[in-house]
Amino acid sequence: MKTNLVCSILPPYILERLARSTDPDIRRRARRALAEAEGYRLARSKPVLGPLPARAPKGKRRAIYDAGGKATLPGHLVRSEGSQMAPDVAVNEAYDHSGTTYDFYAKIFGRNSLDDEGMKLVSSVHVGDEDGEPLTNAYWNGAQMAYGDGDGRIFRRFTRSLDVIGHELTHGVESFTSNLLYQGQSGALNEHFADVFGVLVRQWKRGEPASEASWVVGEDILVPAPTRRGIRDMERPGTAFVNDPYLGTDPQPAHVKDYYTGKLDRGGVHLNSGIPNRAFALTATRLGGRAWEVAGRIWYDTLLQLSNVAGFLECARVTFRLAKLHGDVAQQAVRDSWAAVGISV
């Protein structure tokens, strides 16, 4: 069976920091989450998607499973498309947020699910680790979504966050479009596009203009504390958490002069995504209005055209070229925003 790399919402640098915690419970959970994030999970998943017709019907097709605290997916089916609300809040959050993500792609970009052919959106909630404890993460494994319930001390259940679910499902969209190689700059772009559309799904759902919207990723999955606002900040990379007793300080660079060149995190796919993230947030706020209408359209069309080994410069050039379709003001905003992070087009 073909395997697919797990794309998880928590970056290795957060999990590695937690894995060095003096608290044995946090340390153990983080080490298990690291093992899951670095592994390949599809081979342990039952085939729940089934064959799709050549032309799948328009409309959402959701299936929510309960993993029952186990690591093996998918678990038992607890809610399917059109069924009544479940007594389990995590089930309903997974159902509602995956539906909102489907609606966003359908209404804004005319896309029929992740593959544009009506792919079923499969999710498992209450996923555990190999020790049978709640997983402190959420991930896309190439076939479905999986959500842990967190540790209750730093992280809450991962189904709480619409932008987290939008982020992970966008990894699915990416696999059917540019399929960006998950390494180095192309991998950072892979994470970047997932952040872009995860945040845009949330802004769209709330009807927020770019000037008033939050650009923080993962706020809803964190137990509130004055030292942490989220796991990433697209507008101000490196500020999502500062001097946090567990997480430390956000290491994301905001400019290419601080680009991470090491081997960890597959060449910094989560770290260096802060650079294009800031370019997008700056573009959206400079254009004003609703970010999904112009900036989001430019970035979506770019995703359809990039090569799978694209770097930052290729991405910048394609966004600049496509921005011309929206007028000189949009094109200048794109140029200025990439220049602000050290990339000239």
Q: Where are the beta strands (DSSP E) in 42-153?
A: 62-66, 76-80, 121-125, 138-140, 145-147
Which of these is catalytic: 126, 171, 192, 270? 270
Q: Are 334 and 209 in contact (CB under 8 A)?
A: no
Is 130 an annotated catalytic residue?
no
Neighbour tally for 247: CB within 10 Å:
21
The set of long-range contacts for 265-269, using a CB threshold of 8 Å and a minimum separation of 24, is: 265/11, 265/12, 265/13, 266/182, 266/183, 266/184, 266/187, 267/183, 267/184, 267/185, 267/187, 267/188, 268/184, 268/188, 269/182, 269/183, 269/184, 269/187, 269/188, 269/190, 269/191
Question: CB neighbours (10 Å) of residue 187?
Answer: 23
Rounded to whole angstroms, the Cα distance separating 67 from 82 reads 21
Token readout for 23 is 């608290």
Catalytic residue among 36, 93, 168, 174: 168
Helix (H, G, I), strand (E, B) or coil at 217: strand
Which phi and psi (to 5°) does residue 115 adopt?
Answer: -95, 0
**Residue 168 known to be catalytic:** yes
For residues 254 and 230, give the distance between their C-alpha atoms in angstroms, rounded to a whole number: 16
What's the Cα-to-Cα distance from 243 to each of 9, 22, 172, 252, rounded to whole Å?
Answer: 21, 16, 34, 14
The residues that bridge with 134 in the sheet, in sequence order, are 128
User: 21-39 burial by CB neighbour count: b if 16+ within 10 A, else e?
Assistant: beeeebebbbbbbbebbee
Catalytic residues: 168, 270
